Amino acid sequence: MIPLGFSWGAFFVYVAAICFMVLGGFWGLFESRHPAFLAPILLGLFFFYLCWEAVVEGDDAVPPPKAGGQKG
């Protein structure tokens, strides 16, 4: 399998999209006073949690390398 690397550009685009979704949900909630706009707010917070787990908390899941530098 091809190993995937981390991209700061993609990370910032993802975080910006989350911010637009949450802020748009708040704007729609305040303008319309309709509870349906809680959905993008809650989804944005959930996606932010997934992003947090992938970036910050993901370091513990990597096993230490084997002694001797051998693969397999």
pLDDT of residue 41: 92
pLDDT computed for residue 50 by the predictor: 86
State the total domains in the chain: 1
Quote the domain boundaries for residue 43: 12-55
For the record, the structure tokens of 17 come out as 């999209």
pLDDT at residue 38, as a whole number: 93
Q: Is residue 60 domain-resident?
A: no
**38 located within any domain:** yes
Which residues does the chain have with pLDDT short of 50? none
Residue 39 within a domain: yes
Residue 47 is assigned to a structural domain of this protein: yes
pLDDT at residue 66, as a whole number: 72
pLDDT for residue 53? 81
Helix (H, G, I), strand (E, B) or coil at 67: helix
- Does 61 map to a domain? no
Is residue 71 included in any domain, yes or no? no
68 within domain boundaries: no
* 22, part of any domain: yes
Distance of CA 62 to CAs 6, 17, 19, 25, 33, Å?
A: 15, 28, 29, 36, 45
The whole-number pLDDT of residue 69 equals: 59
